[in-house]
């Protein structure tokens, strides 16, 4: 069966510090991968999606970037965090040709 991991589970970072969140998927090959952010009182917002290694599409202009160095690894990064980057970050995957998405446990990021 497939599983999706995210770490860390929680993170508290000062403004201006760098960020690296990691997501890995097990039990499937060549998945589509997604990063979402869920801010307090707001719905989920799609940030990035990837259909293959090195292929990243950004949905909204922002202070964040994403990379996919391996088939089942998706990384969310920032060089300098802003207060507005605080939120709950969720990684998701789907099979190629399928649309059902499966989510990881999330990372709670607090920028102080």
Partner 1 sequence: KQEVTQIPAALSVPEGENLVLNCSFTDSAIYNLQWFRQDPGKGLTSLLLIQSSQREQTSGRLNASLDKSSGRSTLYIAASQPGDSATYLCAVSRTDSWGKFQFGAGTQVVVTP
Question: Considering the complex, what minimum distance in angstroms separates the CB of residue 48 from partner 1?
Answer: 11
Structural tokens at position 90: 């969720």
Q: How far apart are CA 47 and CA 38, in angstroms?
A: 10
* Contact stretch for partner 1 (CB under 8 A) within 14-22, 60-68, 69-77, 92-100: 92-100
Collapsing DSSP to helix, strand or coil, 85 comes out as helix
Q: Where are the alpha helices (DSSP H) in the chain?
A: none
Tell which positions 37-76 bind partner 1, by CB under 8 A: 42-46, 49, 59
Report if residue 78 touches partner 1, rule: CB under 8 A: no
Among 75, 81, 90, 109, binds partner 1 (CB under 8 A): 90
Tell which positions 5-44 bind partner 1, by CB under 8 A: 6, 32, 34, 42-44
For partner 1, how many residues bind (rule: CB under 8 A)?
Answer: 22
**Any residues with CB less than 8 A from the CB of 56 and at least 6 apart, and which?**
48, 49, 50, 65, 66, 67, 68
Structural tokens at position 101: 């998405």
Q: How far apart are CA 35 and CA 24, in angstroms?
A: 12
Binding residues for partner 1 (CB under 8 A):
6, 32, 34, 42-46, 49, 59, 90, 92, 94, 99-106, 108
């Amino acid at each position: 069966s497939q599983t999706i991991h995210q770490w860390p589970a929680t993170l508290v970072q000062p403004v201006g510090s760098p960020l690296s969140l990691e997501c890995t998927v097990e039990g499937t090959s060549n998945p589509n991968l997604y990063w979402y952010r869920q801010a307090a009182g707001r719905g989920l917002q799609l940030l990035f999606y990837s259909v293959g290694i090195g292929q990243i599409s950004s949905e909204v202009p922002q202070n964040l970037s994403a990379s996919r160095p391996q088939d089942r690894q998706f990384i969310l990064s920032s060089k300098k965090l802003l207060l507005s980057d605080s939120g709950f970050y969720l990684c998701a995957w789907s099979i190629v040709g399928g649309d059902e998405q499966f989510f990881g446990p999330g990372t709670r990021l607090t920028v102080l």
